[in-house]
A and B are shown apart, each in its own frame.
Chain A
């Protein structure tokens, strides 16, 4: 359980970090953010980076601020920073609630928002949030920057559109007019990996649901929105029978993974329950 040898770099600015990444990525250099996934993988020697570029000391990559209706989140903003409301209003409340489902306190003290996205674990709560809200990520390398929609960024189980010499530096999270949100995660025990989870966001217009966004995570290789379930809810009242219809539609259209935890068949049931409970949660946050 000891990692392989590597050369450690601690840049204090982004240009220096990107230059180091450009120099070392071709021979196995990697970015080290919170390290709460990468370091265990190194302990198991599933990851054997030759160089680690530690971005924890680059002040400009930490923190979050609203810009043009979107929350811009610096890549090394730690999970714990979301706990008490990183921004005002329902977006901050939702992010705080979701963050409490990420592993445990000591992991949240180190793990980072951008690190979770780049790691792209199917069970990652932040990946689900990004896809459901239609977020975008900023990918930078030594000679340029590009923005990629979250839906295009996640390409498979722990696979992303990130090139070896690119660093995810910011996440942009838009928040529409809706102020209703609900989240429900099913895992074996508190802090364990999500077996299925659902995030739903919508606004109420004269008692009817509008602009419904319903995303599922932990069930397939990547999180995704389920348009059929959203369509069932759009224009309807937020009632139990409507929730059940949407949950059934979501479960039916999903192609859940089988893994060492649960079978696809069981996971389909978990998705159904997660959708229904997330919808109920949107009405009552107690």
Chain B
């Protein structure tokens, strides 16, 4: 089967039971997508599929054939993405395990709704778990990047 990830086609051979998260990591070599709980609770494996943030552990790779998938590896283009810069600036990560999921979650939300309010950002971010930061710095980073993207 073919997976279309970050603008590139990957020809892979997988069992039907292989999740999209595992296929990205093990078959495409894209280990930026992290696997936490493997049952849809933590959000570490969040990727963008056809424009929407989804849990890659709750979709089988075979289901994603024909879809446009974006992972954290596709964010930076000629330098870090605005949201990555703001995560650095606001100390939005400590161990970094949950970070790819939060980045993709926030990017998808921002692209779907350019004028996210702080309350909406909080609601969006409630989907994912972080066990280091206490969330405040993640909220600040996303909020700052939303402001910056609005202005540019």
How far is A52 from B17 in the complex, measured between Cα atoms in Å?
10
User: Given A2-B17, A6-B17, do A110 and B59 touch, yes or no (CB 8 Å)?
Assistant: yes
CB contact between B105 and one of A40, A42, A56, A105 (< 8 Å): that residue = A105
Interchain CB contact (< 8 A) of B58 among A7, A54, A80, A110: A110
Query: How many Å lie between the Cα of A139 and that of B17 in the bound state?
Result: 28
User: Which residue of chain B lies nearest to A111 when distances are taken between CB atoms in the complex?
Assistant: B58
Closest to B39 in A: A40
User: A106 near B127 (CB under 8 angstroms)?
Assistant: yes
Number of residues on chain B facing chain A (CB within 8 A):
26
| CA–CA, A6 and B52, complex, Å | 27
A39 with B58, Cβ < 8 A, contacts A5-B17, A105-B105 known: yes
Closest CB in chain B relative to A214 CB, distance in Å? 28
Write out the residue numbers on chain A whose beta carbons fall within 8 Å of the beta carbon of B57.
39, 43
Residues of B within 8 A of A109 (CB): 52-54
B63 within 8 A of A: yes
CB distance A106 to B54 under 8 Å? Answer: yes
Interface residue ranges of A167-222 to B (CB < 8 Å)? 189-191
Q: Is the CB of A106 within 8 A of B17?
A: no
Q: Is the CB of B17 within 8 A of A105?
A: no
Is B124 located at the chain interface by the 8 A CB criterion?
Answer: yes
The residue from A5, A6, A8, A110 contacting B54, defined by CB atoms under 8 A apart? A110
| Contact indicator A8/B127 (Cβ below 8 Å) | no
Q: Contact at A190–B63, with CB atoms within 8 Å?
A: no
The answer, yes or no, to whether B32 is at the interface (CB within 8 Å) is no
Interface flag for B43 (CB, 8 Å): yes
Asked whether A40 and B52 contact (CB < 8 A) given A8-B16, A104-B127, the answer is: no
CB pair B62–A8 under 8 Å, yes or no, is: yes
Partner of B38, one of A10, A43, A56: A43
The count of chain A contact residues (Cβ–Cβ below 8 Å) is 30
Whether B126 pairs with A106 at a CB distance below 8 angstroms is no
Q: Which of B29-76 contact A (CB under 8 A)?
A: 38-40, 43, 46, 52-55, 57-60, 62-63
| Interface pair B16/A43, CB less than 8 Å apart | no
Q: Which residues of A contact B52 (CB under 8 A)?
A: 80, 106, 109
Tell me the bound Cα distance from A54 to B39 in angstroms: 19
Considering only CB atoms, which chain B residue lies closest to A39 in the complex?
B58
A43-79 Cβ-contact flags toward B at 8 Å (1 or 0): 1100000001010100000000000000000000000
Question: Please, how many angstroms separate the alpha-carbon atoms of A40 and B63 in the complex?
Answer: 16
- Please give, as numbers and ranges, the residues of chain B lying within 8 Å of A35 by CB-CB distance: 58-60, 63
- Residue B123 at the chain A interface, CB threshold 8 Å: yes
Q: Using a CB-CB cutoff of 8 Å, which residues 98-144 of chain B contact chain A? A: 105, 109, 123-124, 126-127
> Chain B's nearest CB lies how many Å from the CB of A109?
4
Shortest CB–CB separation between residue B146 and chain A, in angstroms? Answer: 15
A195–B109 Cα gap in the complex (Å)? 28
Contact (Cβ within 8 A) B123 A44: no
Alpha-carbon distance A6/B19, docked complex (angstroms): 12
Look across to chain B and name the residue whose beta carbon is closest to the beta carbon of A110.
B54
Of the A-B pairs whose beta carbons lie under 8 Å apart in the complex, a sample of 27, sorted by A's number, is: A1-B38, A5-B15, A6-B16, A10-B62, A10-B63, A35-B60, A36-B55, A39-B39, A39-B58, A39-B59, A39-B60, A40-B40, A43-B38, A43-B39, A104-B126, A104-B127, A105-B123, A105-B124, A106-B52, A106-B55, A107-B40, A107-B127, A109-B54, A110-B54, A110-B55, A190-B123, A190-B126
Binding site for B on A (CB under 8 A): 1-8, 10, 32, 35-36, 39-40, 42-44, 52, 54, 56, 80, 104-107, 109-110, 189-191
Q: Which are the 10 A-B pairs with shortest beta-carbon distances?
A: A104-B127, A8-B16, A1-B38, A40-B39, A109-B52, A39-B58, A106-B53, A3-B17, A43-B39, A190-B126
User: Contacts A43-B39, A105-B109 given; 5 further ones with Cβ under 8 A?
Assistant: A2-B38, A39-B39, A40-B40, A52-B60, A107-B127
